[in-house]
């Protein structure tokens, strides 16, 4: 269940809505609420709504409810941003929680209204301040053996740390940054975009000179170690413990092990475990599935042998019941031989085994007394009685089943199809 449902409520859909349902709801709402850049009263409307809300916080988004339909659709129509919103809410989208893709206030406003400027100025102090650094997500491949047995991993990692020479100021000694001449200290500049014939849209973009800070250091005033970047790279070694039975795609969090930034606590390093396909076993929850091939003799007379070499190297010995005939595709369960249960590794799921019967080679048939073998085996099926009125003799030919369906269906013509002119297509006979 999502941590909040405000965007779903805006579109009038349930959190479980499909992509098609979200698209239909967006189209319906878009017809009801459509911001008009040419409306002379639009700017004053936005000013009034903003004045009644906290400075570009979530409350501003909801005070602009009639104009947020597009924004809601943009978030919920993307699998990645919808997942982030469901898990972290608007904090994950805006970057306030430091866990999702962050969006600058001015950029978000421009995204909402298609780059149109209604004379509304947020100002440099109205940017949302992040309370922590961004998380670093690392996808880490593991084997099914790793998840079964557990594993300790030592990883060499590299991250940004605050420069200890300038203490994160980026400056040499007591040098101070100067106001950016391009943006005049605002951190952003106006850009114009052609939106259509005789229509120019104006929006704000982060200043390319100062990177949105509104100020910059002169070359000679920059710290020699970090070159004015405020942070430097550091290599370290982290030890990660993968517990037995941990589910696939588990997130292992190294708290505050992410990149450092001046003035905010570092984010986390998050390892996402991704299990590689196994050649013999398939996992589902705490259970395992494998396929074992047995001989015709074993299918008819039974077996008592090691059927499986398990993920920890153990041999698993199984004896079939006497008098039991095993048919191709039969399955058995080996209780307590599945995956260790996460957080309760002394308990295990079950191992399901599909038994496939291998028929003997033709060369073996030449070495046995076939009449004696036929006398031992069950009798052949008798001829059909009564026989059909017409019987065709067809030659026996071996063929791979993958060739099934490879006919000339691609040349099939629908008699009801019409050509581009709208007239039925005529073909010479």
Distance of CA 261 to the CA centre of its chain: 28
pLDDT, tens digit (0-9, with 9 covering 90-100), for 75-120: 888 777 887 777 777 766 655 443 444 444 444 444 444 444 444 4
Provide the strand spans (E) within 243-321: 251-254, 269-275, 281-284, 287-295, 304-309, 315-319
Q: What residues contact 386, with CB distance under 8 A and at least 6 apart?
A: none
Predicted pLDDT at 196: 64
Predicted pLDDT at 159: 93
Whether residue 1 is predicted with pLDDT greater than 60 in this model: the reply is: yes
DSSP codes of every residue in 260-273? -BTTB----EEEEE
- CA 204 → CA 34, 89, 196, 217, distances in Å? 21, 26, 19, 23
Q: For the ranges 91-105, 130-144, 261-275, 405-419, which has the lowest average pLDDT?
A: 91-105
In angstroms, the CA 142 to CA 241 distance is 12
Whether residue 170 is predicted with pLDDT greater than 70 in this model: the reply is: yes
Q: Rg of the Cα trace of the chain? A: 35
Which DSSP letter does residue 198 get? T
pLDDT, tens digit (0-9, with 9 covering 90-100), for 375-403: 999 999 999 999 999 999 999 998 888 88
Q: What residues contact 229, with CB distance under 8 A and at least 6 apart?
A: 163, 170
In angstroms, the CA 162 to CA 223 distance is 12
Half-sphere exposure of 98 (CA within 13 A, CB side): 20
pLDDT band at 39 (very low <50, low <70, confident <90, very high): low
Whether residue 285 is predicted with pLDDT greater than 90 in this model: the reply is: yes
* Bond from prior residue into 354 cis (ω within 30 degrees of 0): no
pTM over 0.85: no
State the DSSP H helix or E strand holding residue 80, giving kind and residue range, or none if neither: helix 79-88
Whether residue 65 is predicted with pLDDT greater than 50 in this model: the reply is: no
- Strands 330-334 and 251-254 turn out to be unpaired
Whether residue 209 is predicted with pLDDT greater than 90 in this model: the reply is: no
What angle in degrees, to the nearest 10, is found between the helix axes of 69-76 and 79-88? 100
pLDDT band at 317 (very low <50, low <70, confident <90, very high): very high
% of the chain beyond a pLDDT of 70: 73
Predicted pLDDT at 31: 64
b/e string for 117-153 if b means 16 or more Cβ within 10 A? bbebebeeeebbebebbbbbeeeeebebbbbbbebee
pLDDT, tens digit (0-9, with 9 covering 90-100), for 107-157: 444 444 444 444 444 444 444 456 788 899 999 999 999 999 999 999 999
pLDDT band at 314 (very low <50, low <70, confident <90, very high): very high
92 by Cβ neighbours in 10 Å (0-12 / 13-18 / 19+) ranks as buried
Predicted pLDDT at 68: 60
pLDDT band at 410 (very low <50, low <70, confident <90, very high): low
In angstroms, the CA 260 to CA 160 distance is 6
Predicted pLDDT at 415: 52
Predicted pLDDT at 195: 62
Average pLDDT, the chain: 80
Mean per-residue pLDDT, 335-359: 96
Q: Compare 58 and 214 and report the one with higher pLDDT.
A: 214
Instruction: Decide if 299 contacts 357 (C-beta within 8 A).
Output: yes
Whether residue 60 is predicted with pLDDT greater than 50 in this model: the reply is: no
Q: List the strands of the sheet with 136-142, edge to edge.
A: 136-142, 269-275, 251-254
Half-sphere exposure of 62 (CA within 13 A, CB side): 11
Instruction: Decide if 376 contacts 369 (C-beta within 8 A).
Output: no
pLDDT band at 338 (very low <50, low <70, confident <90, very high): very high
Mean per-residue pLDDT, 204-212: 84
């Amino acid at each position: 269940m999502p941590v909040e449902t405000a965007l779903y409520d805006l579109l009038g859909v349930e959190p479980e809505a499909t992509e098609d349902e979200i698209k239909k709801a967006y189209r319906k709402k878009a017809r009801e609420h459509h911001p008009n850049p040419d409306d002379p009263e639009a700017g004053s409307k936005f000013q009034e709504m903003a004045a009644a809300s906290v400075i570009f916080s979530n409350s501003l988004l909801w005070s602009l409810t009639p104009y947020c339909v597009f924004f809601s659709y943009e978030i919920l129509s993307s699998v990645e941003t919808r997942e982030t919103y469901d898990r972290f809410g608007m904090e994950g989208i805006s970057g306030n929680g430091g866990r999702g893709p962050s969006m600058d206030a001015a950029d978000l406003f421009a995204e909402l209204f298609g780059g149109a400027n209604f004379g509304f100025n947020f100002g440099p102090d109205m940017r949302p301040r992040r309370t922590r650094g961004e998380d670093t997500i690392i996808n880490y491949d593991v084997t099914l053996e790793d998840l079964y047995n557990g594993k300790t991993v030592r990883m060499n990692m590299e991250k940004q740390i605050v420069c200890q020479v300038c203490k994160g100021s980026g400056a040499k000694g007591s040098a101070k940054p100067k106001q950016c001449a391009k943006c005049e200290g605002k951190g952003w500049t106006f850009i114009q975009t052609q939106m259509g014939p005789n229509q120019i849209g104006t929006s704000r973009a982060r200043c390319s000179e100062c990177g949105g800070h509104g100020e910059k250091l002169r070359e000679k005033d920059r710290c020699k170690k970090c070159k004015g970047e405020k942070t430097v790279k550091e290599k370290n070694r982290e030890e990660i413990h993968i517990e037995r039975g941990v589910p696939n795609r588990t997130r292992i969090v190294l708290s505050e092990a992410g990149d450092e930034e001046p003035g905010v606590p570092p984010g986390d390093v998050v390892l996402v475990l991704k299990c590689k396909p196994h050649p013999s076993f398939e996992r589902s929850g705490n259970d395992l599935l494998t396929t074992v091939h047995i001989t015709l003799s074993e299918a008819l007379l039974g077996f008592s042998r090691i059927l499986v070499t398990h993920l920890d190297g153990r041999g698993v010995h199984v004896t079939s019941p006497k008098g039991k005939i095993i048919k191709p595709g039969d399955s058995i369960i080996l209780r307590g031989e599945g995956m260790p249960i996460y957080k309760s590794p002394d308990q295990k799921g079950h191992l399901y085994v599909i038994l496939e019967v291998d028929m003997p080679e033709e060369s073996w048939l030449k070495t046995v007394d076939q009449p004696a073998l036929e006398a031992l085996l069950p009798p052949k099926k008798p001829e059909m009685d009564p026989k059909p009125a017409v019987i065709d003799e067809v030659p026996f030919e071996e063929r791979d089943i993958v060739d099934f369906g490879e006919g000339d269906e691609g040349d099939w013509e629908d008699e009801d199809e019409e050509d581009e002119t709208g007239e039925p297509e005529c073909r010479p006979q």
